Amino acid sequence: MEPEISTAQEMEFDPNSVLSSIDSNETANPNSKRIRYNLENKAKVLYFHKQGKSINKCAKHYSIDRRLISRWIKLEPTILSTKLKRKKYGDSLIQWIMENRIKGVCLSGTVIKIKAAEFYHQYYVLTNQSNVEFKSSNGWFTNFCK
């Protein structure tokens, strides 16, 4: 007695539907968006892990994929040695904006971009700490406002 072999038609199986789902580039959850974590968040997760917590506990606590945390652990020396770029002039720019808002001055994006270039020049070009030209573009302004 040999077992009966079912055909694809009998099982109501469509091989094209399987292939189309394999070939598609859609993510598992189409509503999910990529999240960018800053150095502060990465450092918190790494510190939590150094306290003896497992990668899975870190992932659950911070709601981050465990593979991402594992990658951060491998890159820990690089992550922790990275300096925040342009921190000084950014802080000064924020302070200048707050002072002007308190005074009731209306600041446009153009004015803020010009002042940012001045602060950058003051902190980095005059002190020879950077040879990179600062471009206060619309993209920079959008990210600064976030």
Tell me what the mean pLDDT of segment 47-61 comes to: 92
User: How confident is the model over 4-24, as a mean pLDDT?
Assistant: 45
More confident site: 22 or 34: 34
Token duo for residue 117: 């270039």
Average pLDDT over residues 63-83: 86
Whole-model pTM: value is 0.42
19 falls in which pLDDT band (50, 70, 90)?
A: very low
What domains can you pick out in the chain, each with its CATH number? 15-81 (1.10.10), 87-145 (1.10.10.60)
pLDDT at 28 over 70: no
The per-residue pLDDT for 22 is 38
SS3 category, 90: helix
Give how far Cα 119 sits from Cα of 44, 86, 111, 140, 145, Å.
30, 10, 12, 15, 17
